[in-house]
Chain A
Amino acid sequence: MKNPTVNLRDLVILIADPNAYARRITNGILRGFGANKVLEAEQSLGLFQVLTGQKIDILLCCTRLPPHGGLAVTRSIRRNSHNENRTIPILLMSSDTSESTIKNARDAGANMVVAKPMSPKGLYDRLGWIAFNPRPFIDTETYFGPDRRFKIEGYPGGVGRRKGDKQLEVAADVGPALDQNDIDSLFSAARKGQPDA
């Protein structure tokens, strides 16, 4: 991926993390990137209060957000058809980078996962990826969220193929913990004819 310039000025960014110091860190990093409208929530209740009170442009949510976790929050946002924030980009922050967690995040409707501890570079590039590589949304009986078809593993387990989908090779299993490149590859939309990374 190229490294395009991301303009965060006037975008409303919500950080949801139970760790106050981690929120300060993320907030500081975003302000370094040029963000000037950063909101914070320490648990799901506060997050949903913010979401119902105003329009958010992107959510950065910790997977350990109490009480039910960031994956449940993501599912809830995506499944609520009356929620005007239903299609906002959701970037999950997780220290658990096991393949199952990353796949669960993807299947919940997250746009990306960034591994904790975060680096400014890692966060900037993921924000750039979301902005410059938007994926179409898929609305089915069982899923609502960004297209989950990815170039490395083909079609997500348990999700039926759609009409017009082409055959892709499925990669071999990887170890229990994924590094950021592996995580990204699970969120990288398949492009016809593009070789696997």
Chain B
Amino acid sequence: MPNDAPAEARVFHPENRFDRMARRPGGVAREHALEAAQAHLEELKADFDDWINVELAQLAASLSRVESHPTDLSAVDAAFHGCAHLRDVGGTMGFELVTFVAANLCDIIDALKAGAVFDKDTIECHLSALALAKTERYRHLSPDQVPEMTAGLRRISQIASIVPDDTVD
């Protein structure tokens, strides 16, 4: 006769060095730890401009390849990863607008994978927005502080992300 009773789960508390060590007294107090971490980020900002310029150039080149070879998924993936780098790092370095625009562009590139049509104007608009977002004038602004820009980008990304019916199974 088969035994339908569910197997008992084994519940245990593993020996965990992280838990034990991290709770030791003598750690950096939270306030000081956050200040020190922020100081490290400030040091990194010295070469952030160089980094973002290189990443933007690579992203533009990747998107150019996508335009030439729209069915080449590796080119689309390369563009997506480059754009995701900008999205993932911008906010941490205080460039919230870079993260916003890059996230928008990531959505558009994602839609390309699903069969959306490559629209050069939309891509160039986002690349220009990224170039603007990294400037001294805009880098300290949050998306909420430039509502016309963010609403416009959202709108064109919605349109650019429409996948034609004939590409959907």
B92 within 8 A of A: yes
Q: Is the CB of A11 within 8 A of B22?
A: yes
* A51: chain B residues within 8 A (beta carbon): none
Q: What separation, in Å, do the CA atoms of A60 and B7 have in the docked complex? A: 32
Interface residues of A in 116-154 (CB under 8 A from B): 116-121, 123-124, 127-128, 130-132, 134, 136-141, 147
* B25: chain A residues within 8 A (beta carbon): 5, 7
Q: Is the CB of A139 within 8 A of B10?
A: yes
B-contacting 9-mer, from A24-32, A39-47, A99-107, A180-188: A24-32
Q: Is the CB of B34 within 8 A of A19?
A: no
The smallest C-beta distance from B19 to any residue of chain A, in angstroms, reads 5
A28's partner among B10, B41, B51, B81 (CB-CB below 8 A) is B41
A98 within 8 A of B: no
Q: Is the CB of A34 within 8 A of B33?
A: yes
Q: Is the CB of B6 within 8 A of A137?
A: no
What's the interface size class on A, roughly?
A: 35 or more
Interface bits A50-64 vs B (CB < 8 Å: 1, else 0)? 000001011000001
Q: What separation, in Å, do the CA atoms of A127 and B28 have in the docked complex? A: 13
Interface residues of B (CB under 8 A from A): 6-19, 21-30, 33-41, 43-44, 51, 81, 84-85, 87-93, 99, 103
10 nearest A-B pairs in the assembled complex, by CB-CB distance: A7-B27, A117-B91, A32-B37, A28-B40, A32-B36, A131-B22, A120-B37, A87-B14, A139-B10, A34-B28
